[in-house]
Structure 1
């Protein structure tokens, strides 16, 4: 297999460009107008093809003719994810924790890991978290007035959107309260990876791995009923088929993925609601719209804009173009979620759009075998968090002249700041 090499072609869309990170939708609509696909330079500097239409995105994410690991494509492999990361300066001893997660596995390996987590990360366990999630949300909201400035303005990102999901996932996994600031710091360094400073990624990842080793040792010495204790028991009962490094990677993935995406679901969602006062007013009058509102938040401004690159194991004809065997395709989740063939008037934010409809019309949680394992928990946090904000501060508003500050992480829709007036 010959991988798409780095290129200096003028027609490539650079997904690393700051403009794409802060507002990807103009680029997405340009690709849609041009036929639904376009060549691009991925975040690892390798070429791939973007696909923005819902039908193509679902095929790339759900069809077994597409795989995450290039090693699963027949023929010579010239581009491995581990090589790309070591080339960027990541310590070779740490690369496995970035390339061997549940999110990176194909076929049998993915099924094996997912079954293990599914035995512990159950719907029953998530539902049992609801009172705790409500309590955390209420406590955070109760503190907002004392954190506000003299004009009643407070930044929701550090004081609500981030603390809520990290407290929830840490409670679920079993991370003590005093250790949670360290997890937040590691997460920030990992998500804001700067290729010119790989030492920051290496230090964050190295510290996190050693911390998880200690947590696992503690659970073996003294079993617990939290998710981590359950994972350790499930792994031991499984006959050790799950390696220690896989278990560490699993914990790392659950905690980081379990709060980063939800934090920005809350941030982007509240921004959208307050930017459309009629929608905020509807939610204030009818809390029964919360489930539909969260789905619309995911469709309109979900955290993930692009999915991990997939490799075609054979030639595949998609609606918007052909993907040759061995080539890389990128499913643009933000494109599928604004496909007018599936979502009429896709630029319109409408919290009633999903009301009373079964299932999910959007792909905010992905599609196929890699559908988000924590989707139920994220929806629960979104409904409780937004509901608590609306109830406690019905007149919440954005602050003119002090608008939200978007983040600059390629492939994700994030906010670094969300000032609001209580």
Structure 2
């Protein structure tokens, strides 16, 4: 049994962090163990949960002007920030309760947590001793979670004026919160786009691995594909996979006058050409959609498909290995959810196999795409 030692010398300022907008990633080699069985997955999960909870608690000491400065914003919607913080705390508590069920097999990072007050109490004093087995992980993890929290709080501070995946507008939207512990759904944005496109490679890899994913496509890209090749070819590409829509073109659906037509046209095309693969899901580009759209989506029988684990692999923000390690760290933190890759980026051909290999013995499961957003 290894114990986590506390020490009082760790007084690093919450303010000494990266500039707003820097994307969080964590070198998983700083963690001293492989995720070779479900118990070791839980050990790593408890560690990431406690570290994020520590950073989240520390952030609550910032008043509104300090938070705005921290996030690089002029104004902050504190009601939205507080709502997101509350939801984060509830999920952390739920996740820690799941993660501590294996404490009789390995007591590392096991503390008495019975409710939210005791979780906050443990988060307040959570620090890693210099002689700990996990000391090489501690500071890189703290930096990761501080940067990742900044990402979430910045989106919360702008919500709902600038909509994103950080929060939902109603039950017609899904983001992975409802999934069972240890279950994850693979999703891919920008499928079937013009070159470069890795859709064929990814779908073949998934089929060989007995996995499925949900691919979100633009109507205009499917139309362009059909002008070049047969319907049968497109159907073969997406065999055993699911296809939802991102609209007719990749642009914000929050202020676009023709947003309803964009979705209707895309749904009609995909439903007609890929009837075996179509799922009634709309993924808003960049997460931007209208707050008053519930009636429209319900009339169309379509759900908004958000995500809660973002690879941040679009536009080359992270290298493939960094993106994969970010996803794995967030899988340990959130323990279930919807993973969002960008199939345009070549990095997906490195990140996805690495992720599948790293978690092969960890006791997690991959949700079937047909039931992922139910």
Q: Could you say whether these structures have the same fold, taking a TM-score greater than 0.5 normalized by the shorter chain as the test?
A: no
TM-score if structure 2 supplies the norm length?
0.30
Higher helix share: 1
TM-score if structure 1 supplies the norm length?
0.28
